[in-house]
Structure 1
Amino acid sequence: MNWQIKEFNQLTTKELYEILKVRAEVFVVEQQCIFQDLDSKDEVSYHLFLEDHSEIVAYLRILPPNISYSEVAIGRVLTKAEHRKKGISKKLVQNAINFVTDILGEQAIRISAQAYLLKLYNDLGFEPVSEVYLEDGIEHIEMLYRK
Protein backbone atom coordinates (compact mmCIF):
# COMPACT_ATOMS: atom_id res chain seq x y z
CA MET A 1 0.00 0.00 0.00
CA ASN A 2 1.20 3.44 -0.92
CA TRP A 3 0.26 6.84 0.62
CA GLN A 4 0.24 9.81 -1.73
CA ILE A 5 -0.54 13.49 -1.44
CA LYS A 6 -0.91 15.60 -4.54
CA GLU A 7 -2.21 18.93 -5.68
CA PHE A 8 -5.01 18.78 -8.26
CA ASN A 9 -2.73 19.51 -11.22
CA GLN A 10 -0.37 16.70 -10.13
CA LEU A 11 -3.06 14.01 -10.27
CA THR A 12 -3.01 11.71 -13.26
CA THR A 13 -6.22 11.26 -15.20
CA LYS A 14 -6.45 7.71 -13.80
CA GLU A 15 -5.98 8.93 -10.19
CA LEU A 16 -8.65 11.62 -10.61
CA TYR A 17 -11.02 9.07 -12.12
CA GLU A 18 -10.41 6.66 -9.22
CA ILE A 19 -10.92 9.44 -6.64
CA LEU A 20 -14.24 10.49 -8.16
CA LYS A 21 -15.29 6.86 -8.51
CA VAL A 22 -14.62 5.99 -4.85
CA ARG A 23 -16.28 9.20 -3.63
CA ALA A 24 -19.42 8.32 -5.61
CA GLU A 25 -19.25 4.72 -4.37
CA VAL A 26 -19.11 5.73 -0.70
CA PHE A 27 -21.05 9.00 -0.47
CA VAL A 28 -23.70 8.58 -3.18
CA VAL A 29 -24.28 4.83 -3.48
CA GLU A 30 -23.39 3.43 -0.03
CA GLN A 31 -24.76 6.35 1.99
CA GLN A 32 -27.62 6.93 -0.46
CA CYS A 33 -26.95 10.65 -0.46
CA ILE A 34 -27.70 12.76 -3.49
CA PHE A 35 -25.47 15.83 -3.40
CA GLN A 36 -23.23 17.89 -5.68
CA ASP A 37 -19.85 16.26 -5.11
CA LEU A 38 -18.05 18.25 -7.80
CA ASP A 39 -18.05 21.63 -6.10
CA SER A 40 -15.00 23.31 -7.73
CA LYS A 41 -13.03 22.97 -4.47
CA ASP A 42 -10.99 20.00 -5.71
CA GLU A 43 -8.92 22.24 -7.96
CA VAL A 44 -7.49 24.20 -4.98
CA SER A 45 -7.14 21.20 -2.65
CA TYR A 46 -4.48 18.71 -1.76
CA HIS A 47 -5.60 15.11 -2.29
CA LEU A 48 -4.35 12.51 0.20
CA PHE A 49 -5.00 8.89 -0.63
CA LEU A 50 -3.92 5.33 0.00
CA GLU A 51 -3.51 3.07 -3.02
CA ASP A 52 -3.48 -0.70 -3.02
CA HIS A 53 -2.64 -2.15 -6.46
CA SER A 54 -3.85 1.04 -8.24
CA GLU A 55 -7.11 1.01 -6.27
CA ILE A 56 -7.81 3.94 -3.96
CA VAL A 57 -8.92 2.49 -0.62
CA ALA A 58 -8.84 5.66 1.52
CA TYR A 59 -9.05 9.32 0.58
CA LEU A 60 -9.53 12.87 1.83
CA ARG A 61 -8.98 16.35 0.54
CA ILE A 62 -7.29 19.23 2.33
CA LEU A 63 -8.69 22.67 1.55
CA PRO A 64 -6.69 25.86 2.11
CA PRO A 65 -7.99 28.53 4.50
CA ASN A 66 -10.92 30.65 3.34
CA ILE A 67 -12.35 28.04 0.97
CA SER A 68 -14.78 26.22 3.28
CA TYR A 69 -13.79 27.86 6.59
CA SER A 70 -11.34 30.52 7.73
CA GLU A 71 -9.08 27.64 8.81
CA VAL A 72 -7.70 24.79 6.72
CA ALA A 73 -10.42 22.17 6.23
CA ILE A 74 -10.39 18.43 5.72
CA GLY A 75 -13.26 16.91 3.80
CA ARG A 76 -14.55 14.01 1.72
CA VAL A 77 -12.92 11.62 4.21
CA LEU A 78 -13.54 8.00 3.27
CA THR A 79 -12.29 4.45 3.56
CA LYS A 80 -13.77 1.78 1.31
CA ALA A 81 -16.04 -0.63 3.20
CA GLU A 82 -13.81 -3.68 2.83
CA HIS A 83 -10.85 -1.76 4.33
CA ARG A 84 -12.59 -0.37 7.42
CA LYS A 85 -11.83 -1.42 11.00
CA LYS A 86 -8.12 -1.81 10.19
CA GLY A 87 -6.94 1.57 11.49
CA ILE A 88 -6.63 3.05 8.01
CA SER A 89 -9.05 5.93 8.66
CA LYS A 90 -7.12 7.01 11.73
CA LYS A 91 -3.82 6.90 9.79
CA LEU A 92 -5.43 8.83 6.94
CA VAL A 93 -6.57 11.68 9.18
CA GLN A 94 -3.30 11.66 11.17
CA ASN A 95 -1.34 11.95 7.91
CA ALA A 96 -3.52 14.94 6.97
CA ILE A 97 -2.95 16.59 10.37
CA ASN A 98 0.81 16.07 10.02
CA PHE A 99 0.81 17.54 6.50
CA VAL A 100 -1.25 20.56 7.53
CA THR A 101 0.79 21.35 10.64
CA ASP A 102 4.30 20.30 9.54
CA ILE A 103 4.33 21.10 5.81
CA LEU A 104 1.73 23.86 5.45
CA GLY A 105 2.57 25.37 8.85
CA GLU A 106 -1.08 25.82 9.83
CA GLN A 107 -2.18 25.52 13.46
CA ALA A 108 -5.92 24.82 13.09
CA ILE A 109 -8.08 22.45 11.06
CA ARG A 110 -11.89 22.57 10.88
CA ILE A 111 -14.06 19.68 9.75
CA SER A 112 -17.73 18.89 9.31
CA ALA A 113 -17.66 15.33 10.62
CA GLN A 114 -20.36 12.73 10.36
CA ALA A 115 -21.60 12.54 13.94
CA TYR A 116 -21.08 8.80 14.30
CA LEU A 117 -17.32 9.40 13.81
CA LEU A 118 -17.07 11.84 16.72
CA LYS A 119 -14.87 9.46 18.79
CA LEU A 120 -12.41 8.86 15.94
CA TYR A 121 -11.87 12.59 15.44
CA ASN A 122 -11.87 13.30 19.18
CA ASP A 123 -9.13 10.68 19.66
CA LEU A 124 -7.07 12.57 17.07
CA GLY A 125 -7.42 15.88 18.92
CA PHE A 126 -10.51 17.42 17.31
CA GLU A 127 -13.02 19.09 19.64
CA PRO A 128 -16.73 19.64 18.86
CA VAL A 129 -17.55 23.31 18.22
CA SER A 130 -21.20 23.00 17.19
CA GLU A 131 -24.36 21.12 17.91
CA VAL A 132 -25.25 18.16 15.70
CA TYR A 133 -26.90 19.31 12.45
CA LEU A 134 -28.20 17.68 9.29
CA GLU A 135 -26.13 17.98 6.12
CA ASP A 136 -27.49 16.16 3.07
CA GLY A 137 -29.75 14.16 5.42
CA ILE A 138 -26.85 12.87 7.57
CA GLU A 139 -26.05 14.04 11.12
CA HIS A 140 -22.83 16.07 11.24
CA ILE A 141 -20.92 18.04 13.85
CA GLU A 142 -18.36 20.75 13.27
CA MET A 143 -15.04 20.01 14.96
CA LEU A 144 -11.80 21.96 15.37
CA TYR A 145 -8.22 20.77 15.78
CA ARG A 146 -5.64 23.13 17.27
CA LYS A 147 -1.96 22.30 17.46
Structure 2
Amino acid sequence: MLKLSLSLQQNFQAPELVLKRAYLKKVVETSLRHIATQSNCEIGIACVDNAESQQLNLEYRGKDKPTNVLSFPSDLPDEMAAILDSFPIGDLVVCIPVVLQEALDQQKTPIEHFTHMLVHGTLHLMGYDHETSETDAEEMEALEIEILKKFGFDNPYKEQ
Protein backbone atom coordinates (compact mmCIF):
# COMPACT_ATOMS: atom_id res chain seq x y z
CA MET A 1 0.00 0.00 0.00
CA LEU A 2 1.45 3.31 -1.13
CA LYS A 3 1.70 6.07 1.45
CA LEU A 4 2.80 9.50 0.28
CA SER A 5 4.30 12.25 2.39
CA LEU A 6 4.00 15.60 0.63
CA SER A 7 5.56 18.91 1.53
CA LEU A 8 4.15 22.02 -0.12
CA GLN A 9 5.83 25.39 -0.41
CA GLN A 10 3.70 28.12 -1.96
CA ASN A 11 5.96 31.07 -2.71
CA PHE A 12 3.49 32.24 -5.35
CA GLN A 13 -0.28 32.01 -5.23
CA ALA A 14 -2.95 33.06 -7.69
CA PRO A 15 -6.67 33.51 -6.98
CA GLU A 16 -7.62 31.62 -10.17
CA LEU A 17 -5.70 28.53 -8.99
CA VAL A 18 -6.47 27.59 -5.41
CA LEU A 19 -4.37 24.54 -4.58
CA LYS A 20 -5.47 22.21 -1.84
CA ARG A 21 -2.86 19.94 -0.33
CA ALA A 22 -5.24 16.94 -0.38
CA TYR A 23 -5.80 17.36 -4.13
CA LEU A 24 -2.07 17.59 -4.87
CA LYS A 25 -1.47 14.46 -2.83
CA LYS A 26 -4.25 12.62 -4.66
CA VAL A 27 -2.79 13.54 -8.08
CA VAL A 28 0.72 12.40 -7.14
CA GLU A 29 -0.54 9.20 -5.47
CA THR A 30 -2.71 8.38 -8.50
CA SER A 31 0.28 8.91 -10.81
CA LEU A 32 2.54 6.71 -8.69
CA ARG A 33 -0.03 3.93 -8.36
CA HIS A 34 -0.64 4.01 -12.11
CA ILE A 35 3.00 3.14 -12.75
CA ALA A 36 2.89 0.49 -10.00
CA THR A 37 4.91 2.26 -7.34
CA GLN A 38 4.13 0.55 -4.04
CA SER A 39 6.69 1.88 -1.58
CA ASN A 40 6.14 4.77 0.81
CA CYS A 41 7.36 7.97 -0.83
CA GLU A 42 8.13 11.58 -0.07
CA ILE A 43 7.81 14.43 -2.55
CA GLY A 44 8.26 18.16 -2.29
CA ILE A 45 6.27 20.62 -4.39
CA ALA A 46 7.17 24.31 -4.63
CA CYS A 47 4.93 26.83 -6.40
CA VAL A 48 7.05 29.72 -7.61
CA ASP A 49 7.00 32.91 -9.68
CA ASN A 50 8.66 33.58 -13.05
CA ALA A 51 11.91 34.91 -11.58
CA GLU A 52 12.55 31.88 -9.38
CA SER A 53 11.64 29.45 -12.17
CA GLN A 54 13.92 31.27 -14.62
CA GLN A 55 16.83 31.24 -12.17
CA LEU A 56 16.45 27.51 -11.49
CA ASN A 57 15.95 26.68 -15.17
CA LEU A 58 19.13 28.58 -16.05
CA GLU A 59 21.13 27.05 -13.22
CA TYR A 60 20.08 23.43 -13.78
CA ARG A 61 19.15 23.25 -17.47
CA GLY A 62 21.05 26.15 -19.04
CA LYS A 63 17.81 27.72 -20.31
CA ASP A 64 17.38 31.40 -19.48
CA LYS A 65 13.58 31.50 -19.24
CA PRO A 66 10.88 30.39 -16.81
CA THR A 67 9.32 27.00 -17.46
CA ASN A 68 6.13 25.27 -16.34
CA VAL A 69 7.61 22.50 -14.20
CA LEU A 70 11.09 21.45 -13.13
CA SER A 71 11.75 18.00 -11.71
CA PHE A 72 14.58 17.24 -9.32
CA PRO A 73 14.73 13.47 -8.74
CA SER A 74 16.28 12.20 -5.55
CA ASP A 75 19.81 10.98 -6.05
CA LEU A 76 19.52 8.31 -3.38
CA PRO A 77 20.20 4.79 -4.67
CA ASP A 78 17.15 2.52 -5.03
CA GLU A 79 18.64 0.17 -2.42
CA MET A 80 17.93 2.84 0.18
CA ALA A 81 14.18 2.35 -0.33
CA ALA A 82 14.39 -0.96 1.53
CA ILE A 83 16.11 0.72 4.48
CA LEU A 84 14.07 3.91 4.77
CA ASP A 85 10.49 4.05 6.03
CA SER A 86 9.68 6.54 3.30
CA PHE A 87 11.75 7.00 0.15
CA PRO A 88 12.25 10.58 -1.11
CA ILE A 89 11.51 10.55 -4.84
CA GLY A 90 12.36 14.21 -5.35
CA ASP A 91 11.02 17.72 -5.72
CA LEU A 92 8.87 19.53 -8.26
CA VAL A 93 9.02 23.26 -8.88
CA VAL A 94 5.90 24.58 -10.63
CA CYS A 95 5.88 28.08 -12.06
CA ILE A 96 2.33 29.27 -11.49
CA PRO A 97 2.41 32.26 -13.93
CA VAL A 98 3.68 30.03 -16.76
CA VAL A 99 1.07 27.35 -16.01
CA LEU A 100 -1.71 29.97 -15.96
CA GLN A 101 -0.57 31.50 -19.27
CA GLU A 102 -0.26 28.08 -20.92
CA ALA A 103 -3.74 27.14 -19.68
CA LEU A 104 -5.11 30.30 -21.25
CA ASP A 105 -3.21 29.72 -24.51
CA GLN A 106 -4.36 26.08 -24.67
CA GLN A 107 -7.96 26.91 -23.68
CA LYS A 108 -7.84 24.77 -20.55
CA THR A 109 -8.84 25.51 -16.99
CA PRO A 110 -5.97 26.43 -14.67
CA ILE A 111 -6.54 23.33 -12.50
CA GLU A 112 -6.61 21.06 -15.57
CA HIS A 113 -3.25 22.31 -16.81
CA PHE A 114 -1.74 22.40 -13.33
CA THR A 115 -2.83 18.79 -12.81
CA HIS A 116 -1.19 17.84 -16.12
CA MET A 117 2.07 19.52 -15.05
CA LEU A 118 1.94 17.70 -11.70
CA VAL A 119 1.46 14.33 -13.42
CA HIS A 120 4.15 15.20 -15.98
CA GLY A 121 6.63 16.21 -13.27
CA THR A 122 5.89 13.15 -11.15
CA LEU A 123 6.61 10.87 -14.10
CA HIS A 124 9.91 12.70 -14.63
CA LEU A 125 10.79 12.04 -10.98
CA MET A 126 10.18 8.35 -11.60
CA GLY A 127 12.59 8.28 -14.54
CA TYR A 128 10.29 8.89 -17.49
CA ASP A 129 11.69 11.17 -20.16
CA HIS A 130 10.31 12.74 -23.33
CA GLU A 131 13.45 14.45 -24.61
CA THR A 132 15.73 11.52 -25.41
CA SER A 133 13.65 9.60 -27.94
CA GLU A 134 10.32 9.66 -29.74
CA THR A 135 9.46 6.24 -28.26
CA ASP A 136 10.08 7.48 -24.71
CA ALA A 137 8.01 10.61 -25.42
CA GLU A 138 5.10 8.53 -26.72
CA GLU A 139 5.24 6.24 -23.68
CA MET A 140 5.28 9.17 -21.26
CA GLU A 141 2.46 10.98 -23.08
CA ALA A 142 0.32 7.82 -23.09
CA LEU A 143 0.76 7.48 -19.33
CA GLU A 144 -0.15 11.15 -18.81
CA ILE A 145 -3.31 10.73 -20.91
CA GLU A 146 -4.36 7.62 -18.93
CA ILE A 147 -3.72 9.26 -15.55
CA LEU A 148 -5.46 12.54 -16.47
CA LYS A 149 -8.49 10.57 -17.69
CA LYS A 150 -8.89 9.33 -14.09
CA PHE A 151 -9.51 12.97 -13.12
CA GLY A 152 -11.97 13.51 -15.97
CA PHE A 153 -9.53 15.55 -18.08
CA ASP A 154 -9.15 15.27 -21.85
CA ASN A 155 -6.00 14.29 -23.70
CA PRO A 156 -3.71 17.32 -23.25
CA TYR A 157 -1.86 16.54 -26.48
CA LYS A 158 -4.82 16.53 -28.86
CA GLU A 159 -4.97 19.34 -31.38
CA GLN A 160 -7.16 22.25 -30.35
Normalised TM-score (structure 1): 0.30
Normalised TM-score (structure 2): 0.28
Judging by fraction of residues, say which structure has more strand.
1
